Structure 1
C-alpha cells in the first residue's frame, strides 16, 4: 500500500481501513506467538501500513 493510494480516501474510509489493519496486526502477533507465522516480515508491513493510514488521517483532518 502506498500513501498516494490513501490520499484520495475520506476520513471514514481511512478509519475503517485502520481498524482492519490493527485487527490484522493483532492476528499476526498471535500467530507469531503460536509459532504459526511463516513470513515474519508481514508484521513490519502491517505496522508501516498503520503508520501510513494514520498519516493520511492527520493530513485529511487539516
Structure 2
C-alpha cells in the first residue's frame, strides 16, 4: 500500500480500510499463536499499512 494512494481517498473510506486492516491484523496474530502462520512478515506489513492509514486520516482531518 502506497501513501499517495491513500491521499486520494475520503475520510470515510480511510476509516473503513483501517477497520479491515485491524481485523486482518487480529486474524494474523491468532494464526501466529496457533502456529498456523507461515509467513510472519505479513504481520509487519499489516502494522505498517495501519500506520500509513492512520497518518492519512490525521492529514485528512487537518485539511
Provide the TM-score with structure 2 as the length reference.
0.98
CA RMSD of aligned residues (A): 0.3
Gaps of 5+ in 1: none
Paired residue for 2:45?
Answer: 45
Unaligned stretches of 5+ in structure 2? none
Aligned positions, number:
62
Structure 1's consecutive aligned runs of 4 or more residues displaced over 2 angstroms after TM superposition are none
TM-score, scaled relative to structure 1: 0.99
